[in-house]
Structure 1
Amino acid sequence: MAMTSTKISGFAITGAGVAAAYALSSLWPVAGALTVAVVLGIVAGSTPLLTDEHRQAVARLTKRLLRAGVVLLGLQLAVPAVLALGAGTLAAVVVTVAVTFLGTLILGRLVGVRRGLAVLVATGFSICGASAIAAMEGVVEREDEDVATAVALVTCYGSLALGVLPLLAHVFGLDATRTGSWAGISVHEVAQVVAAAGPAGAAAVAIAIVVKLSRVVLLAPVVALVGAAERTRRGGHTPLVPLFVLGFLAMVAIRGTGLVPAFALDVAKTASTLLLAGALFGLGCAVRLGSLLRGGGRALLLGLLSTLLVLATGFGTLTAFT
């Protein structure tokens, strides 16, 4: 009976956190419900409001929500639309993701950031922000604070990029297609991509979203590769390919059949965001604000350098390949 009560409290706490995240994110859409959820989790976890039993209940729920949310994320990927971008743009996306991911890992080592945090920042900045961080945190060895720090950096520097990129696009004389492609290949979160491409018009936004989703396609192979590397480091104690990654790929394949109705895709998109928001709220609850702030300077430097890297690489690859 006590276990059932604890489960109910875990659902209730997480549900309240997600509801509050959605309400607050409506006031600042650029941040998004996922970012607000992890911030609220940190606030809740840093106060005496949650008992140890409550924290354990939320933690048990977190992993299930996370994996289910990542699996449903696969239904957002329309492979034909991605392929329609053309070989040049797709090559630019692959090179940009690879250079940003590997470059951020190297930069993390140079500035003295923990390996787990560097991997999470590299994943979020190179692929798709908080969603990618949520997917990666389950396969890499990291501290609880690393997840919250990585999400905070994505929000901070993604917001900076959405202001800087339109200005640079104007200075460079880029048309709507180029501006949209650069936003999609370089800016971190989907909402931030839309905001960055918005000043160039609706056509730029449409291109930006498709280019952004082409980066999301690379989430599964990157997580699988890191999982394999972690398996080697830990002596074979982690799955070679996590089951939720296979589920993500299965959903991509199902979406590719064209048989899933539009309303079901809309429901899946909302459900994925809700599940990931719940997972990030739970991850935030495990964080202690004091320990999160102690390593802030080096993390901020890594976020800045990674943002400059993805912007420069994205512009360079698009110029070279398209």
Structure 2
Amino acid sequence: MNQSHYIGRFAPTPSGFLHFGSLVAALASWLDARAVGGRWLLRMEDIDPPREAPGAQAAILKTLESYGLEWDGEVVYQHDRHDAYAEVIERLFRQGLAYACTCSRKQLEGYSGIYPGLCRNLCHARDDAAIRIRVPELTYRFTDRVQGDFEQHLGRDVGDFVIQRRDGLYAYQLAVVLDDAWQGVTDVVRGADLLDNTPRQLYLQELLGLAQPRYLHVPLITQPDGHKLGKSYRSAPLPAEQATPLILRALRALGQGTDPAMVASTPAEVLRHAAAHWDADAIPRSLTLPEAQLR
């Protein structure tokens, strides 16, 4: 890709502090952009205030700075983008592509997370209802730069999905698609836990006439007991004083070669070296770290 055309982004959710798994995803995204002279944007995905941890936003910014992961331009906050989300939902509703759904969680038990279309043709009022998008009975496919070919039949595997929650909060699927397009993102590098979200986003991009970025889903950090390393499970915040060794550890997790002598280097020096030698083809599809490396 032409260097001037690459725009990447990191979009953390402030429901907790950055942990080692977050670092792996952020580092991969930053290196993939910097290796080709591209831009790297930062977007705070703060569309779910009830789940936001106090102080998390400031801590995320401080951690990224202490680890040398500098971003381009101003930080974008999704709470400033509500008008754009509302406008698109209104358009989809007028076109008959979205509808109100009053189904409760109890009603949907037993459907394995696949919406059965109970409200699809009932014409409910939008008050006190979720808004769902009608999906086609089609398979959406893409080739991920690490995970390879992936496909999902939206009607059979997902069903009509929510784009605005019953409490009025906007759903991730809609917000991420609109914001990536608005920011001109060409390459999405993120964790593999979002791999199966991508076909829904491809559909929304097609429906709204938006460009499709390239995707690279880095492996999740899996522990020996099978649990994913994350905010809710033994996910210690990243200590600023351990920036260099943790960046080196994250590089090894991404399949990148490291020089043991660089443990005495600054984060900026390690990142410059890593960007000059970045090899996305070396990233493994999956990764289990030994217990000792999780501490």
- Give me the TM-score of the superposition, normalised by structure 1: 0.22
- Name whichever structure is richer in strand by fraction: 2
- Give me the TM-score of the superposition, normalised by structure 2: 0.23
Which protein shows a greater Rg? 2
Return the structure number with greater relative CO, CA threshold 8 A, min gap 6: 1
